Amino acid sequence: MARHGGRRGWYGKVVGAALGVTLVAAGASVWAAQAGAAGGGPSKAAASATPAGQVKAVDVSIVHASDRGPRGVNITIDDGPDPRWTPQVLDVLREYGVKATFCMVGTQAQAHPDLVKRVVAEGHRLCDHSVSHDTTMDKQSEAYQKQQVLDAERMITEASGGVRPMYYRAPGGAFTPYSRTLAASRGMRPLGWNVDTKDFERPGTDAIVATVQREVANGPTLLFHDAGGDRSQTVEALRRVLPWLKDQGYAFGFPVR
């Protein structure tokens, strides 16, 4: 899992101080209660989706595997939701009958709850991708990491109408032992990737498709983006990649929990 660079907080480097104080206070008390119940350590127990008020700890290790087995692939979509591009991505996924995992930035989820609800209604899964997409998270204090993880969890859950994120993906892959343990204690499996399509750099639709075709043998979890700029290349690449993967005998699934 190569690390993304040069994208510190393109939604804003840090959420405003007032937001951070109020949301951390709300999230920290919930986390503290859960951490105490879990004994403060990582759990190896698998967990299924639970109601918003209930949390079941999951494995702390970074997952890549698909629940569809050796020929499974996981489509993951980062950085949204975005009012222009997320609906187009959802339309393509629906056209080909594919379910994906949407790794949402907290401020984006809060701004576009209708899209979060649509993602859930169409059978996709939610993933916490921090509040402000700070790719230097692993160099920040534990208090800051806690705010980014827990506040985003709350924002996404509220925007969805009560459906909690099932995974946590650190911006740019900037995981720490602390953030992984915190996320796992909240029932969010740390989520990595195997194939970075580089669609964020807008290399051209052909290049995105070629990357998937060349690298899918490296592992099942594919990384795309639905926000952060013009994602027309991503939409068109998905339109080509999804049927190609089916033709190659791959089955679409979700990251294991």
CB 80 within 8 A of CB 235: no
Q: Cis peptide before 81, with omega less than 30 degrees from 0?
A: yes
CA 26 vs. chain centroid, Å, equals 22
Long-range (24+ apart) CB contacts under 8 A made by 239-248 are 239/92, 239/95, 240/205, 240/209, 241/208, 241/209, 241/212, 241/213, 242/75, 242/92, 242/93, 242/96, 242/98, 243/96, 244/209, 244/212, 244/213, 245/73, 245/212, 245/216, 246/96, 248/216
The tokens of 123 are what?
A: 């059978």
The CA distance from 39 to 142, in Å, is 18
Active-site residue, selected from the candidate residues 59, 78, 128, 151: 78
The CA distance from 237 to 175, in Å, is 28
Which residues does 126 contact at the CB level (< 8 Å), separation at least 6?
Answer: 101, 102, 104, 116, 119, 120, 156, 160, 163, 164, 165, 166, 167
Active-site residue, selected from the candidate residues 124, 129, 133, 225: 225
Question: Is 196 among the residues known to form the active site?
Answer: no
Question: Is 225 among the residues known to form the active site?
Answer: yes
The CA distance from 3 to 164, in Å, is 26
Residues labelled as active-site residues? 78, 225
